[in-house]
Amino acid sequence: DETVFESGESRLFDLNDLKEATDNFSDANMLGEGGFGPVYKGALKDGQEIAVKRLSRTSGQGMLELRNEVAFVAKLQHRNLVRLLGCCLEDKEKLLVYEYLPNTSLDKFLFDPIKCQQLDWSKRYKIIQGISKGLLYLHEDSRLRIIHRDLKASNILLDGDMNPKISDFGLAKHFGVNETHGNTCRIAGTYGYMAPEYAFRGEFSTKSDVFSYGVLVLEIVTGRKNTRLQRSRPAASLLNHVWQHWSEGRALELRDHVLDNNFIEEQMSRCIHIGLLCVQEDPIKRPKMASVVHMLSVYSIPLP
Ligand code: ACK
């Protein structure tokens, strides 16, 4: 299940093919604006759907860095990471081509009053688990050792089965075998998901990703944006609050799908507990992703 696909080579795409695929980068095909430029939907001649990220010229990424990024990101192959298919560097264009994910980003579901109803608890749990596996792979695969640095709901894309895929490696950093963390004076990322040692001192590590993951887990369980989460609440009161929120709006609907309501409550409280462990102020106290994955698998009993 933790499939690391066979290593596939990334392709060099032809500019004309990509223009044709996206109807000449027409506005109608624009999926949205990413950190480094717009993203377009397209279909290749063989019918394969793609998402094309068009890096803007002002994005400040040099050709060499871009080539590095392509070589680097192309090595990432895991069912919980967005797959880069290749790139195109013709005519001053800098285009990155990804697999297209029809359900787009998690934040669109999570914080939309209508769409969030599609996320029943078993889907939420699958998303929490999937992200943890993708992040574990980034952190601990010996060939990778990558810190993502910008994990957030809008960087989690969902495939047709609501399987989550981590995307946007624009800020990702590689760390060597004997390194555990890095330092930067250019703090980039997203306030609200940022670990305090990173936000205040520019120190990033796998544990700063763990913090962002914790915020994400709490958002997924509660359906509330991190700005509205009160992280200082004691766990019991947070659980109470969350359960109230769920039972008010969605418990009835959930009861139709699930027989054992207490089981959901139990699983939710475990997830909140994990989320709270991850957002501790002291990075040393936060669990590693390997422990998170373990904690989630131990308590995951298939829903009826
Ligand atoms: O939240 P969204 O709809 O999902 O808006 C953003 C936008 O493009 C800018 O990043 C969407 N997006 C990015 N990559 C993909 C992809 N591979 N498949 C589908 N949508 C994507 C993202």
Paired residues of 81 in beta bridges: 166
**pTM metric for this prediction:** 0.85
Specify the pairing of strand 11-12 against strand 84-88.
Answer: parallel
Cα 137 from Cα 134, distance rounded (Å)? 5
pLDDT at 113: 85
Enzyme catalytic residues: 150
From 157, 162, 190, the mutation candidate for ligand 1 (largest count of ligand atoms within 8 A of CB) is: 157
42 CA to centre of ligand 1 in angstroms: 12
101 C-alpha to ligand 1 centroid (Å) = 8
Look at ligand 1, atom 7, and give the residue with the nearest C-alpha.
Answer: 32
- Please report the pLDDT score of residue 1 as a whole number: 33
**Protein residue with its CA nearest to atom 13 in ligand 1:** 39
User: Token pair for residue 83?
Assistant: 């797959």
Please give the number of the atom of ligand 1 that sits closest to the Cα of 99: 17
C-alpha to C-alpha distance for 104 and 236, rounded to whole angstroms:
33
In order of 37, 93, 115, 146, 156, the CA distances from 58 in angstroms are 9, 12, 35, 26, 25
Q: What is the pLDDT of residue 4?
A: 36
Pocket test for ligand 1, best of 27, 30, 39, 103 (most atoms within 8 A of CB): 39
Of the residues 54, 76, 105, 154, which should be mutated to test ligand 1's pocket, given the most ligand atoms within 8 Å of the CB? 105
Helix (H) or strand (E) holding 114: none
Q: Which residues contact 171 (CB under 8 A, 6 or more apart)?
A: 148, 149, 150, 188, 189
- 60 CA from centroid of ligand 1 (Å): 21
- Side-chain half-sphere exposure of 213, counting CA atoms within 13 A: 33
Q: Ligand 1 centre and the CA of 302: distance in Å?
A: 30
pLDDT by position in tens, the chain (length 304):
333 333 456 688 999 999 999 999 999 999 998 767 899 999 999 999 999 999 876 555 555 556 656 666 777 789 999 988 888 888 888 898 999 999 989 999 998 888 888 898 889 999 999 999 999 999 988 777 889 989 999 999 999 999 999 998 777 777 776 777 788 777 777 888 999 899 889 998 999 999 999 999 989 988 888 776 655 555 556 666 665 655 554 544 544 444 455 677 778 888 988 998 998 889 999 999 999 999 998 765 544 3
Which amino acid is it at 118? Q
Which residue(s) pair with 164 in the sheet? 158
Ligand 1 pocket list (CB less than 6 A): 31-34, 39, 51, 82, 98-101, 104-105, 108, 154, 157, 167
Q: What pLDDT, on a 0 to 100 scale, did the predictor assign at position 145?
A: 85
List the structure tokens of 78: 């895991």
Atom 19, ligand 1: residue with shortest CA distance: 101
**ipTM computed for the complex:** 0.96
